[in-house]
Structure 1
Amino acid sequence: MSDIITITLNPALDISTHVAQVLPERKLRCEQPVYEPGGGGINVSRALKKLGGDSCAWLLAGGPSGDRLCSLLEEEGISVKPHLIQNWTRENLMVVEDSSGNQYRFGMPGPEVNEAEWRQCLEELERLPNEKLPKYVVASGSLPPGVPDDFYAQLADLAWQRHFRLVVDTSGTALTKAAGKGVYLLKPNLGELAALAGKENISVLEQEEIARQVLAEGKCQVLVVSLGPRGAMLATPESIKYAVPPTVPQKSTVGAGDSMVAGMVLYLQQGRSMEEMLRYGVAAGTAATMAPGTGLCRKDDTDRIYQWLQAQQQV
């Protein structure tokens, strides 16, 4: 068993294509489609592989689209653990209009999942012998219809009982319910940080105070707040640190958050310091914006940005 497991309950088979121009009520001739595996935890596993790490991707998979998704992951050399469901895995569509360069992204709802199906991941983690338990479990992405919004909270309870470190990257009610005993690391953005504190929004001037409040309330042990182009803030009970990336040529923001999580978890698994973990995560997230489409981070870009961030600490 890998030291890192990612869990994706609402994966997607992502289909992308190009068209000359998007026009209403016309038959649009598209280029040959490209198929890629998608979903929060799946993208973390894919980014980990690109960075030289290893993980096992647990996911709910159903129908031919689920089979195709698993095959694509295996082709990338990623270990896959599908938990089968009756309904088909969703498909998303992304169309690039060549005349303008605009992207049109159509996200489909996930399949209806029954209780016996969504409980599979929890029950398998419960049954794993201690010697096969992962060190880190990354729970990332949205929840499909039928999965209760306290699923990540149930996973956090299991993490507390079985002593693995749980990393949660989600939003909305799933995030606020997950926060608490059993969560090792949360990665909200500023809007999600506000929700964790029970506020509608917060200013930049408040973010450190709110982060300390979230930690003091025991909602996680480590908090990394994504600040977009301004990098990220790391809050622990001991200190607050920042990592601000260099300006880079940006091609797409798709997968930047998942790449950031992958970089952080990889360095945590390697036993690096909290500050190094933060910088490598920011480096991976920034590197992902340099790749076109859904390319995620590239290792050479990530390592180069990380070295720049490390050098800034010496100035």
Structure 2
Amino acid sequence: MKIVTLTLNPALDKSTSIDRLQAQKKLRCEEPVYHPGGGGINVSRAIKILGGDSLAIYAGGGPVGDKIEELLKKEEVNQQRINIKENTRENLMVVESLTGNQYRFGMPGANAGQEGLQKCQDAIKNLPDDVKYLVASGSLPPDAPDDFYGTIAEIAKSKNIKCIIDTSGKALVKASEMGVYILKPNLGELSTLAEKEEISGLEQEEIAKKIINEGKADILIVSLGARGAMVVTRDTIEYVVPPTVKQDSTVGAGDSMVGGLVLSLSRGDSLLDAVEWGVAAGTAATITPGTELCRKKDVEKIFEWLSEKEIK
């Protein structure tokens, strides 16, 4: 198993739809759809959809943790659940059919507990030698220290595992201080790394280069939403711009992008090809409804478009 993902703050994602949201009324919703969610879990699910394999390590507790485990089994995703005492959270997304508006309700995460956090660290320490990539993705539990991903990155580095971090806020800043293989911020998170309120398109390249030169990452992949991604290394800056598509839902787009990226890297593809696979997967996720991730046929079609564009 070359790829492992780590999810410390997973969620059961529930999505439904109604005609229109109205205050003070009992609203009749459609039958809800459930998906296992959280950064690393979604990355592993996307990898499976794209024909690859990974191991999803996650902290899960209570009946919701049981449901996530059951759903991952159905999707045939390899998993290692770290049991915690508190019940894992549920998130809700409601689509208003008449307008297409989406309303996303994120619930507070469960505390992992000191024992749960230690077990997560131990799980990374005990990974076999054939693991080449570790994706630590998503938010931290409320009781985890801000530098927890930094500690995970340090353990990965000691085992010669390439660590990819996709998180936000203080967790992102602390992880970057450790120095990792790939950081995948969006523009808002790039601002956080630069200690700025916001950054303009004119300065994003300069800031990205500074982060690389400070040793915070070997590679910086900045997701630019519908405009694709900026790929920055010590020597190069390149952009991967996807075709314009009609977006249905952006839920899971970033995780699908990371899934396509790391799967491609694990197969020995070049960095640019891997980012194109990632952008194709992320773009494909935006054309699926609700909390559904990408579909393989859509990813292949978009990747083919990107490859032909590159040749020209």
TM class, shorter-chain normalised?
A: over 0.9
Identity of matched residues, %: 56
Matching residue's letter, 1:99 = L
Q: Name the amino acid aligned to 2:122.
A: E
- 2:263 maps to which of 259, 266, 269: 266
Q: CA deviation at 1:260?
A: 0.6
Measured in 1, the distance between the counterparts of 2:298 and 2:258 equals 16
Secondary structure in 2 matching 1:312: helix
1:248-267 alignment, distance < 5 Å: 248-267=245-264
Report the Cα offset of residue 304 of structure 1. 1.1
Q: Unpaired runs of 5+ in structure 1?
A: none
Instruction: Compute the displacement of 1:216 (Å).
Output: 0.4
Secondary structure, counterpart of 2:58 in structure 1: strand
Local SS of the residue matching 2:203: helix
Give 1:25 deviation, angstroms: 2.5
Equivalent of residue 175 in structure 1, options 172, 175, 182 = 172
Displacement, 1:182?
Answer: 4.5
Deviation at 1:159, TM superposition (A): 1.6
Q: Matches of 2:95 and 2:287 in 1, distance apart?
A: 17
- After superposition, what is the alpha-carbon deviation per residue over 1:43-100, rounded to whole angstroms, capped at 9, x for unaligned? 1111111111111111101011100111101100101100000010111112223333
Alignment of 1:68 onto 2:67: yes
Q: Distance in 1 between matches of 2:22 and 2:201?
A: 42
SS at match of 2:145: coil
Per-residue deviation at 1:262? Answer: 0.6
Question: CA separation of 1:68/1:77 partners in 2, compared to 1, >3 Å: closer, same or farther?
Answer: same
Structure 1: how far apart are the matches of 2:286 and 2:112?
33
Structure 1 length normalisation: TM-score? Answer: 0.95
In structure 2, the partner of 1:88 is 87
Q: 1:112 Cα shift?
A: 1.9
Are 1:186 and 1:223, in contact at CA under 8 Å, matched by a contact in 2?
yes
Query: 1-side partners of 2:87 and 2:178: how far apart?
Result: 34
Structure 2 Cα separation of the partners of residues 184 and 27 of structure 1: 50
Partner of 2:121: 122
Q: Tell me the secondary structure at the aligned position of residue 205 of structure 1.
A: coil
Distance in 2, Cα, partners of 1:239 & 1:134: 28
In the other structure, the counterpart of 1:244 is 241
RMSD: 1.3
Q: How does 1:192-211 map to 2 (within 5 A)?
A: 192-211=189-208
Match of 1:282?
Answer: 279
Q: Determine the C-alpha separation between the residues in 1 that align with 2:169 and 2:246.
A: 31
Q: What's the counterpart of residue 15 of structure 1?
A: 14
AA matched with 1:286: T
Query: What's the secondary structure of 2:43's corresponding residue?
Result: helix
Q: Which runs of 5+ in 2 are unaligned?
A: none
